[in-house]
């Protein structure tokens, strides 16, 4: 039987793997501060996990520092 902490971890893991449309990610409060950047980075018609979106943002930001 799972305790509450294990259940929460499973839910968090599932949420990270779940794929979302560009529009869903743009509307997510989690990405409120990065909306403009995601608007450019994400491709309409493709689906992204939270991890995918974070990776795209991170790679873009690393490329800008020179």
DSSP assignment string, the chain: ---HHHHHHHHHHHHHHS-EEHHHHHH-GGGGGGHHHHHHHSPTT-EE-HHHHHHHHHHHHHHH--
Phi-psi category of residue 13: left, alpha or beta, with phi > 0 → left and psi -120 to 50 → alpha? alpha
Per-residue pLDDT of the chain (66 residues), as tens digits, is 556 666 666 666 666 679 999 999 999 999 999 999 999 999 999 999 999 999 999 999 998 555
Cα-based angle 14, 60, 54 (whole degrees, multiple of 5): 10
Has this prediction a pTM greater than 0.75?
no
């Amino acid at each position: 039987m799972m305790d509450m902490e294990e259940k929460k971890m499973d839910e968090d893991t599932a949420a990270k793997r779940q794929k979302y449309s560009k529009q869903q990610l743009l509307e997510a409060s989690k990405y409120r501060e990065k909306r403009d950047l995601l608007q450019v980075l994400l491709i309409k018609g493709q689906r992204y996990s939270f991890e995918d979106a974070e990776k795209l943002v991170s790679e873009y930001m690393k490329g800008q520092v020179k």
